[in-house]
Chain A
Amino acid sequence: MTPDLRCYGDDIQALAALVPDVDLRSPMDTHGWYRGEWQHIAEPLGFAQQLAGAPTAIPTTADRAAAMTLTGLAAFERSLHEARAGVTDLQARAQSTVLQQMTTAGHERGELWRVTADPTTLSTGACYAEGGGSLRAFYPDTAPGYFGEGWPGPPPRAESACGWTTPLVLHLGTFPWVYSSRLEAVGPGMRWTSPSAKPALEGLYAMGSLMEPAINLRQDARQVAAIFRHFVTHTAPLLARIPRFPASGAEAGRLYRRGSFLHVHQGSLHVAGLDGPRGRVAAPAYNYVLRRFACFFAIRRAALRALSTLPAEVQQLATTSVDPCMRQHAQEVARAG
């Protein structure tokens, strides 16, 4: 039985169809799907070589999805060792600490895709000391953007040492494009690396783990669907101006729509983008973000279909979820035996 995602909306059913289906009950299918999707992650983030050179699975877990996450993380880490530091050690350490706190809380709340916190409740206040002053460890992403209408409040309960006046909001489901208003060619999270700390790894881990069935099922899909719809609402008018890729006679260097994704014929996707009133959406960011949404729901569907083969605690998660759509599916799967 294939679960119907239309309970989240017809658009969500179509979204999941943007990526190949996967049967999590088949080890070969599972391995191939995750390998392929990690390649789609590695190429725009620049660690395709490291991923290709990685062993096919790290034998630390029988869970193939989790094993592939570890493989992807290891490849990403190797590429970070070669990359330029994007932040100072002090900022990177502050970011790591905050990310650990926020991902733990987000995981527990079932809101790992987009994590929010009052920065003054976090260790270091999401600040770091440098040059005799106290600076924010993250960008205050509170203007209306492509993932939401902005975050006017509530203001932090305590006074911030580094000037936070809004919540700290990070979209980890689309890491490294973590900010709603900064969909640049290089995701801001790629710069979260310094000689002594690599918070980018924690960001990638959060993103990658959302493709693991147990963590995917824990996430409230309604939050993801709402963010996706916001993204579509604000990118669809921009996308409509882009020509469709022709069957023949495509021009070198021109930006096209190819299927649901953007494509530059014979050229670099990284210098192309969509310009709109909420800022530029770089073409690599658009494709990557859309694929992350699609993968999330593809795994949600696959996990529900394979629910009876997943660990008991994962089944329990589904049947007791606050998400009525998932609860209904879990009950149907249970009835079907």
Chain B
Amino acid sequence: MRRGIWITLGATMGVGGALLLSRRASAASPASAPAGQDKPPPVIELAPLPQAADVSGDLSRNWGETPVDLRPLFTLMEETSRIVGSGRIFSVIASRESHFVVNAQNGDAAGEQGERDASARAYANNKDRNPPLRYGAQAAAFGSGGLFGALAPYFLWTGVPEVGAKAPLLGAPPELMFQPRAAAFAAAVYMQRLLKAYRIDDHADIKAGWASPTLLTSARGGTDYQNVRARFLADAKTLGIDLSDTTTIPPKLDASAWPGVPAVFAGLVGALPKELS
């Protein structure tokens, strides 16, 4: 598998953050107990993927080649987060990050030590200023994955900047990101944060921020910034989503109606088993 380029983020994201550029992830192998761990993490079974009947938004227009069985999930993300037009942007992001494979993972193969190093660094650099993770060691060794290519420690810290120690995934294992509803929750929170905290001039800026918020601040306009934007625009074209179709995607996404992390978690994920919450 091709090695990705990691960009480690600063404290601007509250929990830090690192996302991957130009990644092509492989499917994950089954969860197993890491060295030094007595038993594998518990299996968590979230609700199945939402279906057409679970959403009210349009599932036909301007979705391009987005798999029809994932369109309700992207639409539910849009409806739950109240970020109008975000569903199709999430689809373009997922096409790059995972090729729509929910158990995509960078870090599970022998040649992916670099990915595991990156998640280990992310964990080591941020654990002292964030609430503890029950499966922190596993997260550090995990790499990244899921539909939207989240780095494991940041995935589990999702919501910390907004709700602190009440963030809902602190007690969950990193394999939870393979469940698309959980991955969707983390992605929706991240999208909201980008839109609220950064200068987002257009849709391609969202993907730049997805790669690294520094591309929206100190590195704005640089080569990486331009490359990420160009890839995003090319991905949208390949997928067949017209980013200029204002009937489905407003010219600028707006997170002002964001209902809050707990509401989005409830709408997308529901509840985790008591022993993990």
Contact = CB atoms under 8 A, between A and B. Distances in A.
A38 interface: no
Contacts of B67: 185, 268-271
A266 B51 contact: no
A48 B178 contact: no
Interface in B161-186: 175, 178-180
B59 to A, nearest CB: 5
Given A270-B67, A271-B67, A249 B43 contact: yes
A115 to B, nearest CB: 27
Contacts of B178: 251-253, 266
A125 to B, nearest CB: 31
Contact of A43 (B62, B68, B100): B68
A266 B43 contact: no
Given A249-B43, A253-B28, A268 B69 contact: yes
B83 to A, nearest CB: 21
A226 interface: no
Nearest to A50: B60
B100 A268 contact: yes
A248 B104 CA distance: 22
Interface size class of A (residues with CB under 8 A): 20 to 34
Interface in A202-231: none
Nearest to A47: B60
A104 interface: no
Interface in A38-88: 43-50, 52, 78-79, 82-84
A268 B178 CA distance: 12
B60 A267 contact: no
B233 interface: no
Interface string B57-69: 0111110110111
Contacts of B100: 268, 270-271
A252 B102 contact: yes
B52 A48 contact: yes
A84 B103 contact: no
B52 A43 contact: yes
Given A252-B179, A266-B178, A268-B70, A49 B102 contact: no
B51 A253 contact: no
A71 B238 CA distance: 33
A137 B247 CA distance: 33
Given A43-B68, A252-B179, A266 B99 contact: no
B221 interface: no
Contacts of A278: none
A210 B69 CA distance: 26
B30 interface: yes
A84 B102 CA distance: 26
A186 interface: yes
Contacts of A78: 60
Given A251-B178, A252-B180, 17 more contacts: A44-B69, A47-B60, A49-B58, A49-B59, A52-B52, A79-B60, A82-B60, A185-B67, A249-B43, A252-B175, A253-B27, A253-B104, A267-B49, A267-B101, A267-B102, A269-B67, A284-B69
Interface of B: 27-28, 30, 43, 46, 48-49, 51-53, 58-62, 64-65, 67-71, 99-104, 175, 178-180, 240
21 contacts: A44-B69, A46-B60, A48-B52, A48-B59, A49-B58, A79-B60, A83-B61, A186-B65, A252-B175, A252-B180, A253-B28, A253-B101, A253-B104, A266-B48, A266-B49, A266-B180, A268-B70, A268-B100, A270-B67, A271-B67, A271-B101
